[in-house]
């Protein structure tokens, strides 16, 4: 049985980053760059006003103030998107707005609130300004040639904004993986169908599909698969044909009706590993078939979710070229003791309050969905140990 980190390393070692494709910047959020993007221009591209007001020569108003206002002659207007032709001479000023290019000759902007307009193009300046006050400088944000976004970084909305400001209209990113989603189990019934004796509603695919999408994959959901070897082979074959990887749920334990591994091997696949020393989620399977991959999740919904978040999502992100792929962590303080009597690391469902207090979400058996629904985190409790109340703990966030 592998430790979690060994299992994750085996997964990362098995995948090569997916090939590149060019996408419009507007569709690039969440993707990962193949090559760094540099800015072709300075940002801001020119010195400009940070305020609605008047561009002045600061020396002209250095002696000013509410008691001794200075009168300047208004010689021009620079609405956004235009430039002032000429130079601001001593004793004059130019009307500017936020973002207007700073006229030549001016070295500061007096905000509108500190002025009064008078007849005959006169502007009364009621406060002094220091040189370069209320001026935003060319290149102060980004110098031309500087990197706007790095290889391996997930493109956030903020990075999209930065690249757009630099005039970038498309980017080279790693292709998204197409991932098939299968649920196995003869007990499973589709929502909307009557629930006959012994049957249960299938709940893993609709839980995992949005997680696949949020992991950057294109999800393809397949029909339910009964616990029969030939049906499992047929379903796996179709999914492997149509996708880059397949995520299955159920059918990976030791029961004689658990056919996922056998079907995968029958199709020519090879198991890379089976079983990880975590709770929940021990029977997780990883296999390869030519250039395609099988992530076999246990069927218990909590086990399926936990193994997806701890093992599959980081791998899908790595596959898309991301460097920083581990689940997000938050810190908190345990409000109650948590005990793990078992010999595997237990990832317990917990809730972290706004004040940082961490509490168990209740009973932790891997078929119990209500504690999963309440949880916003997973807290690792080491084997055969107790985390005392008051301990500082790292919690894996599962609400992102």
Q: Rounded to whole angstroms, how far apart are CA atoms 326 and 318?
A: 10
Smallest gap from Cβ 256 to ligand AMP, in A, equals 11
203 binds, among ligand AMP, Mg ion, none (CB under 5 to 8 A by kind): ligand AMP
Q: Rounded to whole angstroms, how far apart are CA atoms 263 and 313?
A: 24
Q: Rounded to whole angstroms, how far apart are CA atoms 126 and 110?
A: 9
Smallest gap from Cβ 300 to ligand AMP, in A, equals 4
Question: Binding of Mg ion at residue 301 (CB under 5 A)?
Answer: no
Smallest gap from Cβ 278 to ligand AMP, in A, equals 15
Which token pair is 144? 């031309």
Closest CB to ligand AMP among 58 and 249? 249
Closest CB to ligand AMP among 133 and 209? 209
- The answer to whether the peptide bond before residue 44 is cis (omega within 30 degrees of 0) is yes
Smallest gap from Cβ 298 to Mg ion, in A, equals 9
183 binds, among Mg ion, ligand AMP, none (CB under 5 to 8 A by kind): ligand AMP
- The residue sitting closest to ligand AMP, measured at its beta carbon, is 299
**Can you name the residues that pair with 56 across neighbouring β-strands?**
108
Q: Rounded to whole angstroms, how far apart are CA atoms 144 and 39?
A: 5
Closest CB to ligand AMP among 183 and 322? 183
- The residue sitting closest to Mg ion, measured at its beta carbon, is 250
CA-nearest of 170, 164, 131 to 43 is: 164
Residue 384, C-beta contacts closer than 8 angstroms, at least 6 positions apart: 340, 341, 342, 343
Which token pair is 243? 């996708």
Smallest gap from Cβ 185 to ligand AMP, in A, equals 4
Q: Rounded to whole angstroms, how far apart are CA atoms 198 and 189?
A: 10
Smallest gap from Cβ 369 to ligand AMP, in A, equals 9
- The answer to whether the peptide bond before residue 352 is cis (omega within 30 degrees of 0) is no
Q: Which of 101, 103, 177, 185 binds Mg ion (CB under 5 A)?
A: 185
Closest CB to ligand AMP among 115 and 300? 300
Smallest gap from Cβ 306 to ligand AMP, in A, equals 13
Strand 338-340 and strand 292-297: the pairing is unpaired
Closest CB to Mg ion among 133 and 187? 187
Q: Rounded to whole angstroms, how far apart are CA atoms 74 and 198?
A: 86
Q: Rounded to whole angstroms, how far apart are CA atoms 203 and 220?
A: 16
309 phi and psi, to 5 degrees?
-70, -35
Give the CA distances from residue 292 to residues 18, 89, 237, in Å, rounded to whole numbers and listed in that order: 12, 71, 11
Closest CB to ligand AMP among 114 and 227? 227
Closest CB to Mg ion among 185 and 321? 185
3-state secondary structure of 118: strand
188 binds, among ligand AMP, Mg ion, none (CB under 5 to 8 A by kind): ligand AMP
Could you tell me which stretch among 198-206, 247-255, 331-339, 367-375 binds Mg ion (CB under 5 A)? 247-255
CB 315 within 8 A of CB 342: no
Residues engaged in binding ligand AMP (CB under 6 A)? 183, 185, 187-188, 200, 202-204, 249-251, 253, 298-301, 367
Closest CB to ligand AMP among 97 and 347? 347
200 binds, among ligand AMP, Mg ion, none (CB under 5 to 8 A by kind): ligand AMP
Q: Which of 30, 177, 250, 377 binds Mg ion (CB under 5 A)?
A: 250
* # binding residues, Mg ion (CB under 5 A): 4
Reported residue count of the chain is 400
60 binds, among ligand AMP, Mg ion, none (CB under 5 to 8 A by kind): none
Closest CB to ligand AMP among 107 and 202? 202
3-state secondary structure of 349: strand
Q: Which residues bind Mg ion (CB under 5 A)?
A: 185, 250-251, 299
């Amino acid at each position: 049985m592998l430790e979690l980190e060994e299992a994750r390393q085996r997964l990362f070692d098995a995948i090569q980053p997916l090939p590149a494709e060019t996408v419009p910047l507007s569709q690039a959020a969440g993707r990962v760059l193949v090559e760094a993007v540099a800015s072709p221009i300075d940002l801001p591209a020119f010195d400009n006003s940070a305020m609605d007001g008047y561009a002045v020569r600061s020396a002209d108003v250095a002696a000013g103030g509410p008691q001794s206002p200075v009168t300047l002659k208004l010689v021009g207007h620079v609405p956004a998107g235009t430039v002032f032709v000429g130079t601001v001479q001593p004793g004059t000023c130019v009307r500017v707005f936020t973002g207007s290019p700073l006229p030549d000759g001016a070295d500061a902007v007096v905000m509108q609130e500190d002025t009064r307009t008078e007849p005959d193009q006169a502007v009364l300046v009621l406060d002094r300004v220091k040189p370069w006050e209320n001026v935003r400088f060319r290149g102060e944000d980004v110098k031309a040639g500087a990197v706007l976004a790095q290889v391996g970084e997930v493109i956030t909305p903020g990075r999209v904004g930065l690249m757009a400001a630099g005039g970038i209209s498309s980017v080279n990113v790693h292709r998204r993986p197409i991932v098939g989603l299968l649920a196995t189990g003869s007990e499973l019934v589709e929502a909307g169908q009557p629930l006959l004796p012994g049957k249960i509603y299938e709940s893993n695919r609709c839980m995992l599909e949005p997680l696949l999408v949020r992991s950057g994959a294109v999800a393809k959901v397949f029909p339910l698969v009964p616990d029969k070897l030939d049906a499992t082979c047929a379903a796996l074959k179709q999914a492997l044909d149509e996708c880059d990887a397949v995520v299955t749920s159920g059918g990976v334990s030791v029961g004689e009706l658990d056919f996922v591994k056998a079907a995968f091997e029958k199709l020519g696949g090879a198991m890379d590993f089976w079983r990880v020393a975590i709770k929940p989620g021990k029977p997780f399977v990883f296999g390869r078939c030519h250039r395609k991959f099988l992530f076999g999740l246990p069927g218990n919904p909590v086990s399926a979710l936990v193994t997806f978040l701890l093992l599959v999502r980081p791998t899908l992100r790595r596959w898309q070229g991301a460097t920083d792929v581990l689940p997000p962590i938050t810190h908190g303080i345990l409000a109650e003791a948590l005990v793990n009597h078992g010999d595997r690391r237990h990832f317990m469902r917990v809730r972290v309050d706004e004040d940082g207090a961490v509490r168990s979400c209740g009973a932790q058996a891997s078929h119990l969905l209500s504690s999963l629904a309440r949880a916003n985190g997973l807290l690792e409790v080491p084997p055969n140990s107790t985390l005392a109340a008051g301990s500082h703990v790292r919690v894996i966030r599962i609400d992102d």
